[in-house]
Structures are given as structure tokens and as C-alpha cells.
Amino acid sequence: MGAIAIPNVANALNRKKQNQTMADIRTVSTALEARATDFNEYPVVRSLDELAPLIEPTYVKQMPRFDGWHKPFRYESWRETGQAAATHYAFSSAGSDGRFEKPSARDYDPSATTTFERDIVFSNGAFIQYAEGT
């Protein structure tokens, strides 16, 4: 009986962390979208510490910096060729294993996953890689 309960508890804990991670990603993305409405571009920064003062406290009270597994989020912004401003962004988590599968958020193809190790990627207003059923 205990052998069945342990995987179920671990699965429930990971699902909770995944749900919290996705909620935090949505929060930051809403703040990024609101800021982009005001400035007509997404912030171009090298770190989360550089991003935070650009959206706190005007667009979000406090920007989450770590996912549900206590690993740092990743933020990227980029521009299309010939564009002066950053017109795209991605905010992502490496999932439970803490290792990003791709070097850039631009490298992901849209897909759903039920595996906690998979990355969770939100880009330009939508989840590109996400946890199905959350």
C-alpha cells in the first residue's frame, strides 16, 4: 500500500509546483504585456535582476524569480530583422529537472506535455510548451 501512496504524493507535489509555476509565468507575462502597451517594446535585459525594476511595482508588485522547484526563471526578448524594438518575448521554467531543453525560447515548437521534467515556455501571450490539464 505504501508503495502506491509515495508515487501519488510525489505526483501531487510536482503538479502543485507546476501549477504555481504556470501561474507565476502568467503573472509576469501580464506585466510584460502591460509594459509593452506603454513603451511599444519588450524590455531587453541580460538578467531577471535587470528585468525586475522595469516591471516592479508598476506592472507587478513583486516579480517571481524562481519556479515551483526553486530554479530561476528565464526571460528572453528579441526583435525581428529590421525592427528597432524588441517585439517578442518568452518567460520560461526548466521544469522539475532544472535543465532547459533548448538554448533559446525561440527553438521550441508548440506542444503539450504531462511530464514534469519538460520545460514550460510562455511566449508572446501564449504557452508554447505547457503542462496539459492544468
Q: Which three cell numbers stand for residue 85?
A: 524594438
| pTM to 2 decimal places | 0.88
Q: Are strands 111-113 and 126-131 parallel, antiparallel or unpaired?
A: parallel
Mean pLDDT value of segment 69-75: 97
Residue 25 parent element (H or E): helix 2-39
* pLDDT one-digit tens code per residue, 15-71: 999 999 999 999 999 999 999 999 999 999 999 999 999 999 999 999 999 999 999
Number of domains in the chain: 1
Percentage of residues in the chain having pLDDT higher than 70: 93
Q: What is the pLDDT of residue 7?
A: 66
Where in the sequence is the domain holding 78, given as residue range(s)?
A: 2-131
CATH (domain of 16): 3.30.700.10
